[in-house]
Amino acid sequence: MVYKKFEYPNYNIYGIKNDKFKSCHIEVIFRKNILEHDLVERSLLVDTMLHSNKDYKKRKDFVIRCEELYNVNYTGVINRLGNSLFTSYCSSFVNPKYIDESNYLDEVIKLLMTIIFKPNITNKEFDLKSFNINKNNLLSEIETIKENPNKISIINALKALDNNSPSSYGLIDQKEYLSDITTSKLWEVYHDMLKNDVCDIFVIGDIDLDAIASVINKYFLNRVIKNTKSTLYLNNNVIKKVKEVNDQGNFGQSNLIMIYNTCDLNFNERNIIPYIFNGIFGNGTLNSKLYRYLREENAMCYGVNFMYLKYDNLAMIKVSLAKENVSKAIKLIKKALNEMIKGDFTEENLEDAKKSAIFSINMAGDNQVALLGNYIFNTFDDFPLPEDRIKIIRELSKEDIMMFAKKLKLNTIYTLEEGSNI
């Protein structure tokens, strides 16, 4: 595998040459520090930009052009990672060496850059038809979220943690704001992205990296040089007294969320150990402590998960259960964590968790997008590449897991109870 960086005044290209796949994948990533309404604004922006553009003003013409380019796929992804917002424009396409057309790569990249730099805008307003279609779709998506107790409970728990923290930002409470967005307002959002967001481009495939960098630079139209830097990590406040919040829902089961601050983590504790810890403590398998205590021995839950929110410096335990079992479940969760702190698990448990983690890393190597993700976060956050992660995993001890468990500080206990109307 060959890794190469191309530096330009206003953006960088990172190329990974890999002959494992017959396709190639490119991601154009715009980054900024997140603000309260960014998720809904950028979601609408990306959907509208992918619907039509200046060269293909009708959706059907754009779809036909993608088919002509051997079903090239263009997508947009909006992610909040800690304090940062990632707005990504992506394309997956057949490796040009399998296409008997000399301009195929040019046409694929040209269309991607047309989506980004030539949206369907007239007089600083997005095309009304495309705008309305995607605005209505997003409004419907928000309504769908409200019907999902798992998503609602997590969203409400993060708001209970700190309603002003970016950790609590989401779409669910943005319906009124979304309704007020206009075509001209969306142009302002677009203009701000090009003017202020830092841009990086990542490419992976069995392709001439110098050649594709040259093609990208040919069609990359934004020449604004940015000096700003986005910050990934959030420092959510650690509190002395645990918050306990109960809400009433109209769902058929209750959801219990326990949120922990992760405090003063070192490199391995931040990047590697949580996933091994989860394999022993709470990943939902028959051998995990939470599954055994909550479901196998007490039959009190429908599902249990441990989630590590790395860039929020948080960890979260989510349990679906009957409301009469909430108090006992909290006690059992605290008991399980206390056992992790004391090292009350076997070397066999540790080795099984290591094997599972290594297996997952190797499996991800069969997915081109996941493989590229390793390099993206290695670039942005010094996240270890797969072979380095595996080496660290193999060297971990029980004491490493115990030390991580000690750094989990309970912050908020949130319950969304079944049975009543909100």
Q: Which of 184, 322, 317, 185 is nearest to 253 (CA)?
A: 322
Domain ranges of the chain: 2-219, 243-417
Contacts of 169-173 spanning 24+ positions with Cβ under 8 A: 169/34, 169/36, 169/38, 169/39, 169/80, 170/39, 171/39, 171/40, 171/43, 171/138, 171/141, 171/142, 171/145, 172/142, 172/145, 172/146
Residue 115's φ and ψ, nearest 5 degrees, are -60, -45
358 SS3 class: helix
Q: What is the mean pLDDT of residues 105-114?
A: 98
pTM, two decimals, is 0.95
More confident residue, 52 or 225: 52
Question: Is the model's pLDDT at 10 over the cut of 80?
Answer: yes
Structure tokens at 350: 């540790």
Confidence of residue 421 (pLDDT cuts 50, 70, 90): very low
Residue 285 pLDDT grade (very low, low, confident, very high; cuts 50, 70, 90) = low
pLDDT band at 357 (very low <50, low <70, confident <90, very high): very high
Whether residue 304 is predicted with pLDDT greater than 50 in this model: the reply is yes
Using DSSP, state whether 22 is helix, strand or coil: coil
pLDDT band at 286 (very low <50, low <70, confident <90, very high): low
| Other C-beta atoms lying within 10 Å of the C-beta of residue 245 | 15
Classify 274 as helix, strand or coil: helix
- Domain covering 2-219, topology: Cytochrome Bc1 Complex; Chain A, domain 1 (3.30.830)
Q: Residue 299: left (phi > 0), alpha (psi -120 to 50), or beta?
A: left
pLDDT of residue 69: 97
- 118 closest CA partner among 10, 225, 226, 222: 222
The first and second tokens of residue 241, run together, are 């007294």
Three-state SS at 15: strand
pLDDT at 284: 57
Check whether 296 has a pLDDT greater than 90: no
Strand order in the sheet with 2-7: 2-7, 12-17, 198-205, 23-33, 84-94, 73-81
CA atoms of 364 and 358, how far apart (whole Å):
10
- Burial (Cβ within 10 Å: 0-12, 13-18, ≥19) of residue 365: middle
CA 239 vs CA 101, 242, 399: distances in Å: 62, 7, 26
Those residues whose C-beta lies under 8 Å from the C-beta of residue 184, and which sit 6 or more positions away, are: 124, 125
Give the pLDDT band (50/70/90) at residue 422: very low
Distances (CA, A) of 102 to 99, 108, 163: 8, 12, 54
Residue bearing the bigger pLDDT, 74 or 282? 74
* Burial tier of 312 (Cβ tally within 10 Å: 0-12, 13-18, 19+): buried
Q: C-alpha angle with apex 1: 103 to 351, nearest 5 degrees?
A: 140
pLDDT tens profile 76-93: 999 999 999 999 999 999
Token representation of residue 258: 């326990």
How far apart, in whole angstroms, are the C-alpha atoms of residue 245 and residue 257? Answer: 10
How do beta strands 73-81 and 84-94 pair? antiparallel
- Residue 167 is which amino acid? S
At 61, give phi and psi (nearest 5°).
-70, -35
CATH class of 243-417: alpha beta
Tokens 């504790």 belong to 269
- Rounded Cα–Cα distance for residues 354 and 27 (Å): 31
Q: How far apart are CA 368 and CA 357, in angstroms?
A: 19
User: Looking at the predicted structure, is the pLDDT value of residue 261 above 60?
Assistant: yes
In angstroms and rounded to an integer, the radius of gyration of the C-alpha atoms of the chain is 23
Confidence category of residue 2, pLDDT binned at 50, 70, 90: confident
pLDDT in tens, 318-346: 999 999 999 999 999 999 999 999 999 99
Domain 2-219 and domain 243-417, same fold? Reply is yes
What is the pLDDT confidence band of residue 192, given thresholds at 50, 70 and 90?
very high
What is the pLDDT averaged over residues 227-236? 89
Q: What is the CB-side half-sphere exposure of residue 34 using CA atoms within 13 A?
A: 29
Looking at residues 84-110, what average pLDDT do you find? 97
